[in-house]
Amino acid sequence: MSMPLESVPFSELLRQPAETAERLSRARAVRLRRRDAADLVLMSADRAAAEGEVVDLTARLLASVARRDPALVREALPTVLPWVRFLPPGDVEQMADEFVATAEAAAAMGNTAAVSQLLAEWRHTAEIHADPDLHRILGTSSTGDFGPVTRPAGE
């Protein structure tokens, strides 16, 4: 479990940059809250490099273990991600394979966004399997045309 980040308004960084940066000596990182945009995280370059190294090593180690014993990853997934229990067995196997391949590739690129996206997609798939009504609705083939779709605002 990760410890919560200390959180401050972005404006504090602008008004008191030295004091805000000093918070990093007491915390692993500082969350900068912004009103009209995504929050940012401020951390030391050394800390970011160390965390990146751990992610890279973990992904490569996982890929190596999975190549040797693919069943081991599939068996561990329900413990690490309890929602996996709602997926059919074939989907668990597919998810495990995709996860290992994506984690290894993401680590090689130094960008874990693809892993996060993959996990979100599979979690949504598990949510569908967990809800019988939703599963029935989405599993039923549709007939006919549902008409024109309006263009979203701003496009």
Write out pLDDT tens, residues 27-79. Answer: 889 999 999 889 999 998 998 899 888 888 888 888 888 888 888 888 888 99
Tokens of 56: 């890279």
- What does DSSP say about strands 6-9 and 30-33: parallel, antiparallel, or unpaired? parallel
- Ordered by where they begin, the domains of the chain are 6-43 (3.40.1620), 46-138 (no CATH)
Instruction: Count how many Cα atoms sit within 13 Å of the Cα of residue 114 in the half-sphere of its side chain.
Output: 15
pLDDT higher for 91 or 55?
91
Task: Classify 37 as helix, strand or coil.
Answer: coil
40-42 sheet: strands from edge to edge: 6-9, 30-33, 40-42
Res. 155 pLDDT band, cuts 50 70 90 = low
Closest-CA residue to 24 (of 6, 39, 10, 49):
6
pLDDT at 2: 58
